[in-house]
Structure 1
């Protein structure tokens, strides 16, 4: 039974009940921060910045990319996961969300699949498998045959233990059944310098890093790490042509904190789709070896889940440990 006091108080309570929904409908009513766990410069920052700017135009609101590098991107990832789920702090998350739980389980968020809300996919970018010209291999099959005939004699660099290009090497090594030596560097540029000088013999490099040295004949491109060809290097066949199912890429996606309301997810996702289907932006990214990949929150959820399984199993099987 409703008392007279409760009845009289109902009109006062009604606005309070409606405020959360109204706030969601009005999103964004102020600037939105988008965190990124990488420093300024580089393709990851360049792509995120361009997409965020284009999203801001779609939403008619300021969106600010904030670089928060550190702890294998865990600083940015954690700040986003712990933010209020009001849509004003989002995250440009990357492959590290799938790698860190197995490689560095002490880092937070410990379970990104539960602690973050997927909004949509942003891009995929592959790595070029290239070698010093002294290696007598002109394709993936020949490289595997040469490595098997010379176990332990080929040195392959990476931009650091646990980096995606290192995991691409480990996946290649495991699938091909070869014995090559991993040489980790602090960043891809140092490894590329040693590859030029034949101090290491091969490397999986980002497309924009590999392309100039391949064109100059300093290294020889053999294949691309993605399951599909890359527009920037269309002549390079996928490793999957020789090792079926092989697919190693670096990806980026937009996330919010767990509990992000569905209306905000939908509006942010629509703006993200406008950005990732913008023809001018697609062309700009393709020139950097980056393929914008429009996809909703469910597509991003599947990517994170699948790669958490893929990289987690590889890290455990190969006993890979963080530096």
Structure 2
């Protein structure tokens, strides 16, 4: 009888162990892997939300920068971590949509090796032109470019970057012939845009906005599908070019095989953190729009983004650097 009671007790204890472990989560700091250097946009974004996420989960979230190889090193580290909720990854469209679309062999599979948790935010770009451009809006600029095929150019932050791909997407959707001039970063290209040596750049909102506000260049439109709450008076390109959209997105992943209840708990924490006024304010100053939503919505968005960029890369015969 004593033996039977012992076995029943042991079985009940074992059955309750996962529940107890879940209740105790997080019992130690959660590592948020950022696959880019400290001080960059992704790192700043991670630090803007990590403290609040830790508060919502009842613990702490520690940012761990693992840069290198365009974000693939840190992504691979996160992919190979235990699926216990103590290692998360702040991925971007670069690591999980653009890089996989080039067909290069990556150390991870962007779908099979990760558990999607939440679409955290979007960083749109602005279509900026020199003040000397004879166009006041997107429609006029397209007409101007069509009247001068091959005579206009655009700058980018390098082959295969989101800046390059956004311009090629715009060209494809608008049926334009404009010449690509790659730079090592849009900061190096901006002086040539200001002087009129360049005709167009799709620069990130936080990078381009100071030049726009100081009157050095003109902003014609934003790359979000609808007008952005960050710049409500700036038209969306989609108002002229139907369905046009290009964002650098940020999303939270865990390693593959994370339990659904743990994913839901972390996802709820993210969604709650993004609703906090101080988080919204910090993200607005970074030029980032909070998103949130379910893991299913995040996975669907990422898959659609991969398909879009893969088509552009193939159709436009784009090679990465």
Q: TM tier, shorter chain?
A: over 0.9
**Equivalent residue for 2:270, pick from 269, 272, 275:** 272
> Offset at 1:88?
0.7
Q: Is the 8 A contact 1:125 1:289 kept in 2?
A: yes
Distance 1:227 1:261, change over 3 A: same
Total equivalences in the alignment: 319
**DSSP 3-state at the match of 1:91:** strand
> Hey, what does 1:255 align to over in structure 2?
253
Distance 1:58 1:7, change over 3 A: closer
Q: Is the 8 A contact 2:142 2:176 kept in 1?
A: yes
Question: 1:224-257, CA deviations, whole angstroms, 9 ceiling, x for partnerless residues?
Answer: 1111112332221111111101011111111101
> Offset at 1:129?
0.2
Q: Is the 8 A contact 1:34 1:64 kept in 2?
A: yes
**Equivalent residue for 1:135, pick from 122, 133, 136:** 133
Question: 1:8-39, CA deviations, whole angstroms, 9 ceiling, x for partnerless residues?
Answer: 75654654454344323321110010111221
Question: 1:171-206, CA deviations, whole angstroms, 9 ceiling, x for partnerless residues?
Answer: 101000101111222222112232223332210011
Q: Is the 8 A contact 1:158 1:203 kept in 2?
A: yes
> Offset at 1:270?
1.4
Residues in 1 aligned to 2:3 and 2:72: alpha-carbon distance in whole angstroms: 51
> Offset at 1:108?
2.7
> Hey, what does 1:283 align to over in structure 2?
281
> Hey, what does 1:76 align to over in structure 2?
74
> Hey, what does 2:51 align to over in structure 1?
53
Q: 193-202 or 238-247: which moved more?
A: 193-202
- Residues 144-293 of structure 1: matches in 2 within 5 Å? 144-293=142-291
TM-score, reference length from structure 1: 0.93
> Hey, what does 1:85 align to over in structure 2?
83
Q: Is the 8 A contact 2:125 2:247 kept in 1?
A: yes
**Equivalent residue for 1:32, pick from 24, 30, 33:** 30
- Residues 2-21 of structure 1: matches in 2 within 5 Å? 11-12=9-10, 15-16=13-14, 18-21=16-19
TM-score, reference length from structure 2: 0.93
> Hey, what does 2:122 align to over in structure 1?
124
Distance 1:26 1:146, change over 3 A: same
Q: Is the 8 A contact 1:159 1:186 kept in 2?
A: yes
Aligned residues: CA RMSD: 2.0
Unaligned runs of 5+ in 2: none
**DSSP 3-state at the match of 1:143:** helix
Residues in 1 aligned to 2:62 and 2:43: alpha-carbon distance in whole angstroms: 12
> Offset at 1:277?
0.8
**DSSP 3-state at the match of 1:126:** strand
Q: 188-197 or 51-60: which moved more?
A: 188-197
Distance 1:195 1:74, change over 3 A: same
> Hey, what does 1:66 align to over in structure 2?
64
> Hey, what does 1:101 align to over in structure 2?
100
Unaligned runs of 5+ in 1: none
